[in-house]
Chain A
Amino acid sequence: MINIALPKGRLGEKVYAMFEAAGYECPSIKENNRKLIFENTEKQVRYFWVKPSDVSIYVERGAADIGVAGKDILLEYTPDVYELLDLNLGRCRMAVAARRGFHDDGERTLKVATKFTNIAAGHYASRGREIDIIKLNGSIELAPILGLSDVIVDIVETGTTLKENDLDVIETVVPISARLIVNKASFKFKTEKIENIVRSMKEQVKNDD
């Protein structure tokens, strides 16, 4: 049996549709009930929904053999897992944004508000910029407007929220998309089954570039 952790939400539903199209369907997952785990014994797969930021924990700790997580989560938590596929779904970018017209003159410590403290710290450390990290859990865009921070490091999809709040992207840190990850030990002992799933999933990836 292969355990697959799916991220709850719209992305997870798209990912499940890919698994289904790849031949690893599990019809019970579409029933409207409170079950947490869905199994297809014939196809030897078991799915479960978890909070998107927890997927990598389930996979790293071996509770799931396979999982799908955003590159943002993987960069932030650096789990020790294999990243076998870029599913090319949920595409967006991790970016630095600030109030329109902001200029970093480099004279004082830069105040950075973010949910992704490790990514932000790594980004500025690589250019030797002294920063003060302010960890927030939501509504990051508020921080520069209220003067809590100079800039924010956050996920930008369309940029509409930023524009409506007079914020501009000033640089892209890294492009983000959903990745298929695999537990390293599971890969050693279930190699063939996992390879088959990865191969079938690869055929489902839509490359638009």
Chain B
Amino acid sequence: MEEKLLKNEERAVFALRALYRQYGYLPFKMSKFEEYDLYVRNKDFLISDRIITFNDTNGKLMALKPDVTLSIVKNGEDLSGVKQKVYYNENVYRVSGSTHQYKEIMQTGLECIGDIDAYDIFEVVSLAAKSLQLISPDFVLDISHLGLLNSIFNQINASELFRREVSQALSEKNSHDILRLCEKHGVSDDVKSMLTEFVGIYGTKDTVLARLKPLCINEEAKAAYAELATLAALFSATDYADRIRFDFSIVSDGNYYNGIVFKGFLNGICEGVLSGGQYDNLLHRMGRRAGAVGFALYLDLLEELNAVKNEFDVDILILYDEDTDLSELVSTCKELTDGGKCVSAQKAFPPKLRYRELIDLTRGNRS
């Protein structure tokens, strides 16, 4: 009964909390507001730069938080070998992708910050996969490595503009515009074919790694390839290995992210529900030495998933009036609710209430 009453997103919050606690992630609770300054300084890290602001009582410009990660990483000590592991469940306020309007978005996620290594990255990515699996077994987790694209850019000493335009086209799996951009910027044929080959590579580890290897021509790319291969090997032992795909169209901002980035999808929801990655660069920009990896899950999107439409609002509508014996009304309600029914006691028919059965306790109907 209780289980049935919970909405998808509420059920997910409970299940995910238990999962994150199992791996030693501690809850992180934060305020709804944060100084606007924090977001201005890290504007590019945010999904949208539009933020709801207001003046605090002392005149300070504040913001309704559009993001949780920045608040978590802005403080903290950098100790060798130590990691801070936290999870959160917070509302954020930002312009949502497809509606282009401000929305309150319920977000849950976790961050692992500190002296992180390959194990931590696997732990976080696998927790992302397990989070999706808990919500629906029909999920896909796409993984990419930003080092691969960067290695190609660095090889040709690409301009800021070229990087931005090609990244955008890559995120659209748009090889025809990549070709045009290469021609416009006078890029060599070798690099042109590498970039278009790169767009076309996606799928499970067996298909991807073999095609990817010949494209890894410098040290940076080889290191990225090795990281992906390690991760792929670790995932092959899990029960959701076939749900892990490699897809290089995930292009998170390189000013903040480096290394592994990933995105999760659930069948039946039209956009990505999970996104995350390694973001050492953000911490370095904040003057910290540590590295970090984490993800966020957008719970509000789960509404779309197998939404069960109830035929009735209540099982039983009980009608009563001034002359109804109150103790009879109370005992009728108790009897029904004890029997697992949901009731609504009313003096008149509520115009929009849908009920399965009617019990009439008004005077004219009592024996």
A contacts, CB < 8 Å to B? 57, 60-62, 79-86, 183-186, 188-189
Q: Is the CB of B98 within 8 A of A60?
A: yes
In the assembled complex, the Cα of A86 lies from the Cα of B178 at a distance in Å of: 12
* Chain B residue contacts of A189, Cβ below 8 A: 138, 140, 265, 267
> Given that A60-B98, A80-B98 are contacting pairs, would A185 and B272 also be in contact in the complex, using a CB cutoff of 8 Å?
yes
* Chain A residue contacts of B111, Cβ below 8 A: none
In the assembled complex, the Cα of A85 lies from the Cα of B286 at a distance in Å of: 41
26 contacts between A and B (CB under 8 A): A60-B98, A60-B270, A60-B271, A61-B98, A62-B269, A62-B270, A79-B98, A80-B98, A80-B271, A81-B172, A82-B173, A82-B174, A82-B249, A83-B174, A86-B176, A184-B265, A184-B271, A185-B267, A185-B269, A185-B270, A185-B272, A188-B265, A189-B138, A189-B140, A189-B265, A189-B267
> Given that A61-B98, A80-B98 are contacting pairs, would A184 and B174 also be in contact in the complex, using a CB cutoff of 8 Å?
no
> Given that A60-B98, A189-B265, A189-B267 are contacting pairs, would A184 and B176 also be in contact in the complex, using a CB cutoff of 8 Å?
no
B contacts, CB < 8 Å to A? 97-98, 138, 140, 142, 172-174, 176-177, 245, 249, 265-267, 269-272
In the assembled complex, the Cα of A185 lies from the Cα of B177 at a distance in Å of: 22
Q: Is the CB of B265 within 8 A of A83?
A: no
B259 to chain A, nearest CB (A): 22
In the assembled complex, the Cα of A188 lies from the Cα of B177 at a distance in Å of: 22
> Given that A60-B98, A80-B98, A189-B265 are contacting pairs, would A183 and B174 also be in contact in the complex, using a CB cutoff of 8 Å?
no
In the assembled complex, the Cα of A84 lies from the Cα of B173 at a distance in Å of: 6
In the assembled complex, the Cα of A57 lies from the Cα of B100 at a distance in Å of: 11
* Chain B residue contacts of A183, Cβ below 8 A: 270
10 more contacts with CB within 8 A, not counting A82-B172, A83-B173, A189-B140, are A60-B98, A60-B270, A80-B97, A80-B271, A81-B172, A85-B176, A86-B176, A185-B271, A188-B142, A188-B265
- Nearest-CB residue, chain B, relative to A82: B173
A88 to chain B, nearest CB (A): 9
In the assembled complex, the Cα of A100 lies from the Cα of B267 at a distance in Å of: 55
In the assembled complex, the Cα of A189 lies from the Cα of B142 at a distance in Å of: 12
Count of A-B contacts judged by CB separation below 8 Å: 48
* Chain A residue contacts of B271, Cβ below 8 A: 60, 62, 80, 184-185
In the assembled complex, the Cα of A57 lies from the Cα of B269 at a distance in Å of: 15
Of all A-B residue pairs in the complex, the 8 with the closest CB atoms, nearest first, are A62-B270, A86-B176, A83-B172, A83-B174, A188-B140, A82-B173, A189-B267, A188-B265
B162 to chain A, nearest CB (A): 14
Q: Is the CB of B177 within 8 A of A83?
A: yes
- Nearest-CB residue, chain A, relative to B100: A77
A177 to chain B, nearest CB (A): 9
Looking at A79, A86, A185, which has the most chain B CB atoms within 10 Å of its CB?
A185
In the assembled complex, the Cα of A85 lies from the Cα of B173 at a distance in Å of: 9
A98 to chain B, nearest CB (A): 25
In the assembled complex, the Cα of A79 lies from the Cα of B173 at a distance in Å of: 14
Looking at A57, A80, A188, which has the most chain B CB atoms within 10 Å of its CB?
A188
Q: Is the CB of A185 within 8 A of B265?
A: yes
In the assembled complex, the Cα of A36 lies from the Cα of B142 at a distance in Å of: 35
Q: Is the CB of A84 within 8 A of B174?
A: yes
* Chain B residue contacts of A57, Cβ below 8 A: 98
B226 to chain A, nearest CB (A): 26
* Chain A residue contacts of B140, Cβ below 8 A: 188-189
- Nearest-CB residue, chain B, relative to A81: B172
* Chain B residue contacts of A80, Cβ below 8 A: 97-98, 271
* Chain A residue contacts of B176, Cβ below 8 A: 85-86
